[in-house]
């Protein structure tokens, strides 16, 4: 059982929905980013998604693209991202960390080395948005064998024919992208999301977490009420990009977490 599996089991026992937060590793710099990540569990975050900065983030909107660029400009690398996770783990051995990014940096490092290093650093799961299920032998299956969850995205365009393929080797949870397009591009609507979540849950026992288009405590509550939880990324990254203090970012994250936990 991974930390992700354990977290969902604990939340289910408490009758609570999951609140997942995304931040870009190294944004605006390594030291501040580490402080922010360390503060997330205290703000009510159940699972941390840690963005791996990349030069060509095709699934991300301007907010997260800019965060990645700030991180790269400050010298953030795959290694320093793993170092950040390892540093976090010195104080917190229970909050799951999902590394979210693109395949190129992983491929460059070498899959076997990356998986060993990620496991040692305390990473629990991977979301690699540019590797389709047809490429599962490349990273997904080796990751599962190494004890890491491989989390797949489902979208409004994932039809009945495609869904079984998407779910086949997915573990940890299913990330449902509530809107078509890039991150931060539109607001999620519970009325649209609910039936889609039900459709996915009919095909898997995994928790379904909804992300994209959630930027207020009310939206977090509404979306979490029709799913197993929600993810907020762009809205938090925007606060960091505006130069808010760690305390201000934490307070904003806490308001979102409270919303999700009210669901």
CA–CA–CA angle 172, 186, 239 (5° rounding): 80
| Active site residue ranges | 49, 60
Verify cis geometry, omega within 30 degrees of 0, for the bond prior to 28. yes
**DSSP string for residues in 177-240:** E-SSSSTTSS---HHHHHHHHHHHHTT-SS-EEEESS--SHHHHHHHHTTSSEEEE-HHHHHHH
């Amino acid at each position: 059982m991974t930390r992700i599996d354990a977290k969902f089991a604990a939340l289910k026992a408490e009758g609570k929905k999951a609140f997942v937060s995304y931040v870009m590793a190294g944004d605006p710099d390594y030291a501040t980013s580490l402080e922010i990540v360390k503060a997330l569990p205290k703000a009510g975050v159940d699972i941390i998604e840690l963005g791996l900065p990349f030069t060509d983030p095709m699934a991300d909107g301007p907010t997260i693209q800019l965060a990645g660029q700030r991180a790269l400009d400050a010298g953030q690398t795959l290694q320093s991202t793993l170092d950040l996770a390892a540093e976090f783990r010195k104080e917190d051995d229970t909050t799951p960390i999902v590394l979210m990014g693109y395949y190129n940096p992983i491929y460059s490092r070498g899959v076997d080395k990356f998986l060993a290093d990620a496991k040692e650093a305390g990473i629990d799961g991977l979301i690699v948005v540019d590797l389709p299920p047809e490429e599962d032998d490349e990273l997904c299956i080796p990751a599962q064998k190494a004890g890491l969850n491989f989390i797949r995205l489902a979208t409004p365009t994932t039809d009945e024919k495609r869904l079984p393929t998407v779910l086949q080797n997915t573990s940890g949870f299913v990330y449902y992208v509530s809107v078509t397009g890039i991150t931060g591009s539109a607001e999620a609507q519970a009325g649209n999301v609910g039936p889609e979540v039900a459709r996915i849950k009919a095909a898997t026992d995994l928790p379904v977490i909804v992300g994209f288009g959630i930027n207020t405590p009310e939206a977090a509550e509404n979306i979490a009420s029709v799913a197993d939880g929600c993810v907020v990324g762009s809205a938090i990254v925007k606060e960091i990009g505006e130069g808010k203090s760690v305390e201000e970012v934490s307070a904003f994250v806490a308001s979102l977490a409270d919303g999700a936990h009210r669901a």
